[in-house]
Structure 1
Amino acid sequence: MVSRMNGESLDITAQNITRLKELFPEILTDGDKVDFDMLKTLLGDVIETEQERYQFTWHGKKKMIEGAQKPSKGTLRPNTKKSKNFATTENLYIEGDNLEVLKLLQKSYNGKIKMIYIDPPYNTGRDFVYKDNFKDSIQNYLEQTGQVDTDGNMLSTNAESNGRFHTDWLNMMYARLKLSRNLLSDTGVICINIGEEEHEKLKFILNEIYGEKNLLGNIIWKKKTNGNNQGHIPSIHDYIYCYAKKIEMINEKEIGLLPTEEFLSKNYSNPDNDPRGIWTTQDLSANHEGPYFPIENPNTGEIHYPPKGRYWVFNELEVQRRISEGRIIFGKRGVTAPVQKVFYNEKEYKKIKVSSIWSDIALNADATAEISEIFDQPKIFSHPKPVGLLKRLLELFTEENDLVLDFFSGSATTAHATIQLNSEDKGNRKFILVQLPETLDEKSEAYKNGFRTICDIGEERIRRAGEKIIAELKEKQLKSSILDESTVDPTSIDIGFKVLKLDTSNIREWNIDFTNLENELDLYETPFIEGRSELDIVYEIMLKQGLELTYSIETFEVNGNKVYDIAFGSLFICLSKEITTDVAKAIITRRDEHGTETSSVIFSDASFRNDSDKLNCIEILKDSGYPEDNLLTI
């Protein structure tokens, strides 16, 4: 019996029950119901039963958690016209409510994101607050963004006169942070930019979701030179909270910045032309108890002991060996107290630690200038973040092939910084950006320049920034007579992005909960919504099957039937009107050519002329080695 595809995103509640079942099979009763009394018994004394306990809570928290775990029936529709290099890029730009998008990404990107950076609304009483409606999330999103009614949108500010000023913000943030944590890899890190208004409450919910032990640090970023006399003590900084998903999986010595030429020239040198390369000196003594003995300077015969209260870091035999190898010297002129020679090339970890105070990096004013230069227009976007800030965070927490997520992407600084860093270190970092298509004020400069939503600004910024970076690389190549190893090939930089838009499902029965579903669907020739393309449906299937949305998509035809070959045979989809056994045979041939070990096939149920044709196709595929669970219909 061939199964029908489930049109929902990952059911997080069901996933949690499955995990509990694997750990404690004894706690399940009456199917999937959890016997909490049995769970308490199994966990023993660690269960907290007191009514009064240390916790951070607010009105609506439980309802919000339940709603966040409710699966989504929506989809992400590709928009090839707004995209750049759609067929080849590995970057995504998603227009939609980030709560619903995060639900939809759960299958495809679970555990795959190395770094999340977000700059959410600060809740100043003037910035945007999302209005979540868990009863019908997609419809709510369409109404908010003015896509389905003529009464304007429902976007609003969270005015301080609202009695639930902090509660609204907490509900909005908690749900999104909870879902996004699932997407981080075990070595992943989340960095959240926040102002004075909500930073204490943000730390409370981050401690709850990530655990206090996973706090890597709190960066204080100086964002402006003065506070314009606002408040008793004007604030000129932001906070950036950095949490690991699993701090035990992160090697702290790998977090840091690679040294610049300026840093190396200030701190290392090679005055004696040592073949081991540039070096610096380091104290030979330490304040913890250890070896204590005299060291004779072979040049002068002078005897040296460790300073009072200190000890040598090496024993006597090791000291003599290092003196003979030139690793312990007596000053650069050979007449002072002994010191270690430390060679940069021999350092196991070559990165430099950063402090928690960042006053040496770009300011908000620099960010405004950056975006104004890109658009050749001032005031195109309010309060963007500087590229330098994002680039430093990427340098700290990502490697060259990592995936970065920003689900409050605003002006798309994260994309700009990712491309910029790739152009500097030959990296291939990819980004996923999510932004609600908030309508712009008609009086704004951006609106007057033809932009209608924040997404329009973000997408155009990526286009312009990418082209600018490529042009700069090409100019650098022309100026350089010799291409050295540090030269980055402009054609290797991915400056494209696929635009995807949140929408209702392309498939009728995945949108609704009819009690008499089969009879209702008999009214239609196909299960697909009018006006939706095959590519829309293909991307929805990829999403619901848990495939990354940047995987390759090829097509081939069999007797006029188009077959989609996704990720080199990992998934085949055929939605044509008259599927025959020839299609099944061609799929098998293609799979074997790829040498794909795990493959799935999905057909449109309405595409078979009769049940006999459907059964024959399925049997041919099963005979070729396809498990029945890998054969689905919609």
Structure 2
Amino acid sequence: MKQEKLNNIQVIPSKIEELKKLFPEYFDKNGNFLVEKFTQDIQSQTNISKETYSLEWLGKSYARVLATEPVRTLLKENKEWNEQNKNSENLLIKGDNLEVLKHLVNAYENEIKMIYIDPPYNTENNDFVYQDDRKFTPEELSKLAGIDIEKAKRILDFLDSKSNSHSAWLTFMYPRLYIARRLLRKDGVIFISIDDNEIAQLKILMDEIFGEENFIAQFIRKTGIAARLDATHISTEQDYILCYSKNLNLSSFNKQFSNINKGYIYEDKHYKIRGKYKLNKLDRGSIRYSSSLDYPIESPDGTLIYPGGTPENNGWCWRWSKDKVEWGIKNDFIVFKKDKAGNWKVYFKQYQFVDNDNKPIKRTLPFKTLLLENYNNEIGSKEILELFSKKIFSYPKPTTLIKFLINLVSNPDNNDIILDFFAGSGTTGDAVMQLNVENGVDRKFILVQLPEPIDSKKNRVAYEFVKNELGIEYPTIYDITKERLIRSAKKIINDKENEIKEIKEEIEKIHLKEKLTKRDKEKIEKLQEELTQRQNELERIKKLDLSFKEFETIPIPEENLKDIEELTEELEENLFKPITDKNALLTTWKVFDGIKLHRDLVEMDFNGYKGYYLENKLYLIDEGFTLDNLASVLNKIHNEDFLVTKIVINGYVFNSKIQREIFESINNYNKKDLEKIELIIRY
């Protein structure tokens, strides 16, 4: 029988625990790491350097503690909303993203294809709304972080000051990025928007967490903000997007189709298959001279043509071998033309749709890091205005930017998961839905947003919209995030329905004529085809996932957060305040056990007692469980197609006596049956 208290379990295993799993031979019987033996065994395979380059700041020790500290919240679903959207796999989660990331890590580790975040830029006017203060004493922080008492005191004093310094921003970002990396798939990629205030610090921080070798690119985005006349020195009109992979060797990036019409001006008899072509000279002057490519080619009139126009070795040669040229002449890839002086020149045809071996190709180019057009904030503001009829969000990123980034890394054949844990106005969710409609795939999104209060004075328009139009008493940014997703999904459907309506009206308008001409009939036929196409598109769109399930974090009672190293019967029954929110317990526990948030537990009856089951896990959380109920559980497991490998019971309501009886029964069952059942007492 195993006892668990979720807020005593490290969300992210320590480095030592990871090393023990990978290299158990380098630990002695007392658990000490044999560093000299480890170094000796690997020194022949790599260079071991004692010189390092890293970013240090006041608060880094505290940030490391935050990254591995257990959760302090429970996850709860909006049952009414989720029942209406029960088939959706998209997620919108309200809460502090550090807590949410810790909840997600058990069920979504190595599952996320792409992360995009637009974190606070740490400007002079920005106050952090994320409060990562844990009320540690200097002694507690000293022990947890492995630092002396004096340094712990300095860190806590620094945190109490609510500073907007580089150190404060790094302390805030470190644990979130640390956990985010765990969530990425092995081929996953993260994009982070940032400005001049923290780009230098963020680059070094990302090198430390993701590895300098996994840096992909630094995009420069024109923000579209007009030049500031009050700028002290130079008006800044750009921000940046840092891109890192989890593993550069496993990540791949899509390419853009090149402008296949540019320069392709000629046609020949192969046009239908090869497309148009352009002419390139077959000879070239090159430092990569090869004697095997320096040979004469016979022209149509029998004269010999040499690379560079002379038989002497002048450093010129042909691009193709002699055999390849003969093949090219035979297959109409070689063209002979005279120049103005009457000298023969040799060209090869570069076609649009086949390569130089006559094999079909798609000509592509890598995307570039300069994002100068179509990605600025003005576009994002227009999108918000179109959805809400008022400007309720400042400087939102446009969906064009997020779609561009998704198209860089996401394969349309895969139902990739896109995560944004600074969701803001909900642009990422909107972009995912739009892109799914455009290319007929079903990517999923997970959005996380803090219920940050909207200032009624600084953001009066947004405040009044949420309060008056949405009817929410205490307006938050989260309310805008949610409403954006709802309205964006409706707009996608409405836009297509309006297209259909316009075509129908155009057909009806033609039918109003007294006499239809041949041209009218042809136009009606064409419009009918277009109408059918749009109607089919609408049906396809309606089958896509354009909704989401909603969850939120709720705090664990303060008395339940006490750090108890060993649970005794007396402590179990007297120390902890029972958590009676069944919704929160089941949602939190299933994710902790690796079950995806969107999946619903199945309610089962065990002789009058309700249990909850999914993926071989059975949860017993209500009071009143008896031995008769246990017999029913074991009977179902034994006689029916009902596989259970783990039973989790609610330690808050199962007293020590029934716990022992359950343990003894499960223990006896395990002795008889090949399928072993693990029993967990959870608090």
Instruction: Give yes or no for TM over 0.5.
Output: yes
Distance 2:262 2:500 in 1: 28
Distance 2:177 2:661 in 1: 49
Distance 2:98 2:62 in 1: 15
Q: Specify the alignment match of 1:149 in structure 2.
A: none
SS at match of 2:93: strand
1:575 to 597, 621, 644: 621
2:545 to 494, 498, 503: 494
Distance 2:85 2:557 in 1: 21
Q: Specify the alignment match of 2:340 in structure 1.
A: none
The offset of 1:114, in angstroms, is 0.9
1:449 counterpart = 2:465: yes
SS at match of 1:31: coil
SS at match of 2:480: helix
Q: Specify the alignment match of 1:374 in structure 2.
A: 387
Q: Specify whether residues 343 and 472 from structure 1 end up closer, same or farther in structure 2 by C-alpha distance, changes over 3 A only.
A: same
The offset of 1:318, in angstroms, is 2.1
Distance 1:499 1:64 in 2: 29
Q: Specify the alignment match of 2:234 in structure 1.
A: 233
Bigger Rg, structure 1 or 2: 2
Amino acid corresponding to residue 486 of structure 2 in structure 1: R
SS at match of 2:483: helix
Distance 2:368 2:547 in 1: 34
The within-5 A match list for 1:169-188 is 169-188=169-188
Q: Specify the alignment match of 2:118 in structure 1.
A: 119
The offset of 1:266, in angstroms, is 5.0
Deviates more, 1:410-419 or 1:541-550: 541-550
The offset of 1:170, in angstroms, is 1.3
Q: Which string of whole-angstrom CA distances, capped at 9 and with x for unpartnered residues, describes residues 420-476 of structure 1? A: 100101111111111111111123212111251111100110011011112224445
The within-5 A match list for 1:495-510 is 495-505=546-556
Q: Specify the alignment match of 1:399 in structure 2.
A: 411
Q: Specify the alignment match of 1:213 in structure 2.
A: 213
1:419 counterpart = 2:433: yes
Distance 2:599 2:330 in 1: 58
Amino acid corresponding to residue 376 of structure 2 in structure 1: L
Check the 8 A contact 2:260/2:363 in 1, yes or no.
no
TM-score by length of 2: 0.77
Distance 1:9 1:622 in 2: 31
Q: Specify whether residues 10 and 518 from structure 1 end up closer, same or farther in structure 2 by C-alpha distance, changes over 3 A only.
A: closer
Q: Specify whether residues 342 and 373 from structure 1 end up closer, same or farther in structure 2 by C-alpha distance, changes over 3 A only.
A: closer
Distance 2:183 2:198 in 1: 24
Unmatched 5+ residue regions in structure 2?
138-157, 309-313, 338-343, 468-474, 504-529
2:591 to 543, 551, 557: 543
The offset of 1:501, in angstroms, is 1.2
Amino acid corresponding to residue 320 of structure 2 in structure 1: F
Distance 2:173 2:98 in 1: 9
Deviates more, 1:3-12 or 1:84-93: 3-12
Check the 8 A contact 2:14/2:68 in 1, yes or no.
no
Check the 8 A contact 1:405/1:431 in 2, yes or no.
yes
Amino acid corresponding to residue 647 of structure 2 in structure 1: V
1:557 to 577, 594, 605: 605
Deviates more, 1:490-499 or 1:404-413: 490-499
TM-score by length of 1: 0.82
The within-5 A match list for 1:592-631 is 592=642, 599-604=645-650, 606=653, 610=658, 611-612=660-661, 615-616=664-665, 619-620=668-669, 623-628=672-677, 630-631=678-679
Q: Specify whether residues 320 and 49 from structure 1 end up closer, same or farther in structure 2 by C-alpha distance, changes over 3 A only.
A: closer
The offset of 1:204, in angstroms, is 1.3
Distance 1:351 1:554 in 2: 48
Distance 2:675 2:106 in 1: 22
Deviates more, 1:444-453 or 1:472-481: 472-481
Distance 1:376 1:591 in 2: 55
**Aligned-residue CA RMSD (Å):** 3.7
Q: Specify the alignment match of 2:373 in structure 1.
A: 360
Amino acid corresponding to residue 449 of structure 1 in structure 2: F
Q: Percent identity?
A: 28
1:92 counterpart = 2:91: yes
Deviates more, 1:360-369 or 1:483-492: 483-492
Q: Specify whether residues 570 and 196 from structure 1 end up closer, same or farther in structure 2 by C-alpha distance, changes over 3 A only.
A: same
Deviates more, 1:170-179 or 1:115-124: 170-179
Amino acid corresponding to residue 409 of structure 2 in structure 1: F
2:486 to 458, 463, 476: 463
Deviates more, 1:70-79 or 1:171-180: 70-79
Amino acid corresponding to residue 583 of structure 1 in structure 2: V
The offset of 1:322, in angstroms, is 3.3
Q: How many residues align?
A: 591
Distance 1:282 1:10 in 2: 67
Distance 1:607 1:412 in 2: 42
The offset of 1:42, in angstroms, is 5.1
